[in-house]
Amino acid sequence: MQDLRDRACSLFQSLETSDEDFATEAILAYKELWEATRATRAELFGFELLEVEFPMEWKTDLEKIEGPRSRNKKAKNIIMRFAKQGIGNLYPEME
């Protein structure tokens, strides 16, 4: 799990600083961390893991953007929007 967190954090930092396009990779790392965290919490606390689909509208939003810096900025905003909407470690089990 720590490897997933480290990877997601590193890619999130790259969104801010890199001239390379890390947009899709960063969002997928966030998704992977979200899925692993949910599964681990369900196992640790013995509750049923609800079937929840990760929002995929980000793909369409990201396809409209050109240039690596612009795509990275958009990806950062998408990840921040997910966090604000509660799509993170505790969603949806804590609703």
pLDDT (tens digit per residue) in 1-53 = 889 989 999 999 999 999 999 999 999 999 998 888 888 888 888 888 777 77
What's the pTM?
Answer: 0.84
Number of domains in the chain: 1
Domain coverage including residue 42:
2-85
Task: Confirm whether 92 is domain-assigned.
Answer: no
Task: Confirm whether 11 is domain-assigned.
Answer: yes
Task: Confirm whether 91 is domain-assigned.
Answer: no
Cα angle 75, 78, 83 (rounded to 5 degrees) comes to 130
pLDDT (tens digit per residue) in 49-87 = 777 778 888 899 899 999 999 999 999 999 998 888 766
Task: Confirm whether 20 is domain-assigned.
Answer: yes
Measured between alpha carbons, how far is 74 from 77 in angstroms, rounded to an integer?
Answer: 5
Task: Confirm whether 94 is domain-assigned.
Answer: no
